[in-house]
Amino acid sequence: MDKKLLIDLQKTPKHVAIIMDGNGRWAKGKGMNRIFGHRNALTAVRESVKAASQVNVEAITLYAFSTENWNRPKLEVDALMSLLINSLKKELPEFMEQGVKVNSIGCIETLPKKAQKVLNDVIFETKDNKDIVLTFALSYGSREEIVNAIKNISKKVVNKELDLEKIDENTINNHLYTFNLPDVDLMIRTSGEQRISNFLLWQLAYAELYFTDVLWPDFRQEHFYDAIIDYQNRERRFGKTSEQITE
């Protein structure tokens, strides 16, 4: 049976975030190096975006490269940057056909110049697409994001551009990288690991967390639908009681 038929299209999450984990273990299991795993993960990206589009998800954010990933071996980092450049170029026609608007969050200025240019070019080319927003978290760390937000808010208070007493959740939201995205409803992490790894800490405050043993290169549309079905079978209370939700 097509799992998509089990999904209530009126109750799908608006924003799904994914920690794409398991590339290295997948490659090791096949007797190959980690870079082989990264290269074979592109199909999972493609399948996830397609699946999200088909069930009315408005935004999907992928944890592509963390601030901590810069500490990996130079060969692997260089390969990841090259893969980013080549995959963005290759996927642009597909993005245009599927109405995918590409976005990015993180310290993009720390990426290689060529990667920055290609990323910005793709963002510009897809800016008018409206079916789904695909955000790549690149050189991203949530603690750093929050620190930067606090610094920028503090500067505005010091310069009397912002009243201290008027700072609220919306103020912080508007100073995060994700200011133009809805809060995350569902976070998926592959490979069996069950942690958040400095990813969207503020934005995940009320998200449902879904962990699967599937390694990222093996992740397909049916696995994405499994996560959506699980999400729809949960009761989201946001601090209220079950009775209040029912009412």
The tally of CA atoms less than 13 A away on the side-chain side of residue 239 is 2
Binding residues for substrate: 22-26, 34, 38, 66-68, 70, 72, 189, 195-197
Whether 148 sits among the annotated catalytic residues: the reply is no
Binding residues: 21-26, 34, 38, 66-68, 70, 72, 189, 195-197, 208
Q: Which helix (H) or strand (E) holds 61?
A: strand 59-66
Helix, strand, coil shares, percent, the chain, to 5: 50, 15, 35
Binding residues for Mg(2+): 21, 208
Q: Is the dihedral of CA 108, 111, 112, 118 positive or negative?
A: negative
Q: CB within 8 A of 13, min separation 6: which ones?
A: 57, 185, 186, 208, 228, 231
Amino acid sitting at position 117: K
Q: Is 238 exposed, middle or buried (0-12, 13-18, 19+ CB in 10 A)?
A: exposed
CA angle 228, 17, 154 (to 5 degrees): 140
Annotated active-site residue in 69, 148, 173, 198:
69
Catalytic residue IDs:
21, 69
